[in-house]
């Protein structure tokens, strides 16, 4: 590997030469560009561990005999009461690549038809996201199912592109079999790096709808914005999969996104066979779209009025 020097988009000049003279496998690009798992902000105690843990084991309590229990650290920034926490179910699934997958089901809309299968962004885990899930789901009348990528939170293994796809496959199967939610009642929601497994799954299965929040075309196009085609060593080639998505797709992107340029959202929207009216949030960056009023307004309009609700 070449020595370090001046850097561009996280790569040194030597690394750029190495990248194009000796192209690496996509997993190396993926690791370089994408994965920043935080220190876990939660633990999950399985039934046999709960008695040993006792009353001193954090913020959560078991939801019932034979179930796993969620325990949040202070860094999870829990914003609700114990009552809401008791409605958050956690459990483990197993991926096709033999990683243990931490999963979460948030029952925040008992009368809602739809469940979001939410693939979160980078540098967060389920502990940090669960307050957001409750707030979002209760406002748009959807339950929320989510999971941590391999190497994130309590999920085992290492983050990689192949693991991303295996992770969402396991989450999809768990949502369908454990909770009996049929595909026509599942909305796939991906944010940032989470749009990668979301698009991959949506290109293979039809569902109620797909929401792409700050999507990327591919890994190489993020690092090198002038890239015009997909090379064999590129990672996350969502731009080549989006045309296979047959479900309605809502694309959301901030016009001032400093991480994944707005052009990515625009290109993904233009390639969607069943794209609905997108949400371009004027002035929004990569991590603040949710703070704009039109974010919730557009989601409510899409789910309550543009999708079947009978």
Instruction: Report d(CA 291, CA 170) in Å as an integer.
Output: 31
Q: Phi/psi at 13 (nearest 5 deg)? A: -60, -40
> Any idea which residues carry the catalytic annotation?
192, 257, 286
Instruction: Report d(CA 193, CA 64) in Å as an integer.
Output: 34
Instruction: Report d(CA 224, CA 262) in Å as an integer.
Output: 14
**Residues with Cβ within 8 Å of residue 162, at least 6 apart in sequence:** 27, 97
Exposure on the CB side of residue 160, measured as CA atoms within 13 A: 12
């Amino acid at each position: 590997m070449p020595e370090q020097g001046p850097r561009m988009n996280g790569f040194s000049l030597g690394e750029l030469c190495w990248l194009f003279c000796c192209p690496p496998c996509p997993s190396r690009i993926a690791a370089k560009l994408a994965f920043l798992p935080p220190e876990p902000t939660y633990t999950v105690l399985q039934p046999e561990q709960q008695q040993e843990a006792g009353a001193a084991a954090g913020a959560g309590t078991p939801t019932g005999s034979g179930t796993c229990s969620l325990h949040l650290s202070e860094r999870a920034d829990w914003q609700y009461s114990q009552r809401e926490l008791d409605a958050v179910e956690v459990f483990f699934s197993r991926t096709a690549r033999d990683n243990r997958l931490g999963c979460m089901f948030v029952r925040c809309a008992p009368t809602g038809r739809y469940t979001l299968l939410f693939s979160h962004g980078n540098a967060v885990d389920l502990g940090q996201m669960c307050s957001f899930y409750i707030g979002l789901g209760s406002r748009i009348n959807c339950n929320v199912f989510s999971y941590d990528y391999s190497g994130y939170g309590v999920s085992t293994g290492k983050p990689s592109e192949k693991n991303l796809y295996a992770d969402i496959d396991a989450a999809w199967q768990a949502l369908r079999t454990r909770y009996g939610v049929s595909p026509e009642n599942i909305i796939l929601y991906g944010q940032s790096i989470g749009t990668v497994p979301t698009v991959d799954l949506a290109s293979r299965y039809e569902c109620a709808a797909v929401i792409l929040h700050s999507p990327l075309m591919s890994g190489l196009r993020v690092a090198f914005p002038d890239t015009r085609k997909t090379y064999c060593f590129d990672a996350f080639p969502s731009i080549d999969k989006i045309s296979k998505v047959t479900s309605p797709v809502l694309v959301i992107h901030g016009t001032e996104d400093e991480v994944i340029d707005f052009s990515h959202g625009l290109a993904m929207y233009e390639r969607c066979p069943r794209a609905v009216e997108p949400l371009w949030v004027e002035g929004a960056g990569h991590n603040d779209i949710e703070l704009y009023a039109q974010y919730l307004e557009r989601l409510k309009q899409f789910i309550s009025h543009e999708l079947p609700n009978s």
